Structure 1
Amino acid sequence: MKLEDAIFNWLQMKIVSDARTDDGAATETLQFFETILTEDHKLDHYVVDRTDDHAYYIQYTQEGRQLELKYDRELAEKLLSDINSNPKYN
């Protein structure tokens, strides 16, 4: 899995997990992507640095370099929106 995809998947699950604190599956999936980020991509640190009306900004440290990626807010929040709109999960 490419780093950008792994961070995006982690971000989506972070959003879901933060919004649905009692959702064990969301927490497990978040931990799965955290393992990918630390073990496969050797990230030392990754965090949602900030958000604005249009994007999420993720800061991460890889091999001693601090970097940043930007993701579209609507796309990042789509998974949570899809889950919330499905009565099976509510």
Structure 2
Amino acid sequence: MKSLQDSLYNWLTIKIVSDERPDDTAAAETEKMFFDILGDEFHVSDIEIEKDDVMYYVHYNNKDGERNKTRFPRELIEVMLNQIKNEPDKYVNYPED
């Protein structure tokens, strides 16, 4: 990932999908990959998410142990989830062999 902001955005977007679709192994694996990037490349820890009617807020500790917060509009974070909900036939969960 190019930046912490991009990594947080990508992780949060797929985490929302993964949380909504717990049987979606591809979403779970992708969420784990982005989560690992946050820890391994950016040394982010203790991530917490909150949301209101307009925004998602991501609270986290940086590599120096300082608590930080960033925010993302819900409409941007939920675009993938909404697409899946609107066209479920295109996003079928396939069982693992």
Shorter-chain TM-score category?
over 0.9
The reply on whether 1:58 has 2:58 as its aligned counterpart is: yes
Distance 1:11 1:85 in 2: 20
Can you give the 5+ residue segments of structure 1 that lack an aligned partner in the other structure? none
Q: Which consecutive aligned stretches of 4+ in structure 1 deviate over 4 angstroms post-superposition?
A: none
Q: Distance in 2 between matches of 1:22 and 1:75?
A: 23
TM-score when scaled to structure 1? 0.93
* Structure 1 CA distance for aligned equivalents of residues 11 and 46 of structure 2: 13
Matched positions, count: 89
TM-score normalised by the chain length of structure 2: 0.87
- Structure with max Cα Rg: 2
Which residue does the alignment assign to 1:36? 37
Structure 2 gaps of 5+ residues are 93-97
- The alignment's C-alpha RMSD in Å is 1.0
The one-character-per-residue Cα deviations of 1:17-56 (angstroms, maximum 9, x if unpaired) are 01001000000000000110000001122120x2111000
**In structure 2, the residue corresponding to 1:21 is in which secondary structure?**
coil
Match of 2:71 in 1: 70
Q: Which residue of 2 aligns with 1:2?
A: 3
C-alpha distance in 1 between matches for 2:14 and 2:51: 16
Q: CA deviation at 1:89?
A: 1.1
- Overall identity of the aligned pairs, in %: 38
Greater strand fraction, Structure 1 or Structure 2 = 1
Q: Counterparts of 2:48 and 2:27 in 1: how far apart (Å)?
A: 17
Superimposed CA distance per residue, residues 1-29 of structure 1 (whole angstroms, 9 cap, x where no aligned partner): 20001001111111000100100000000
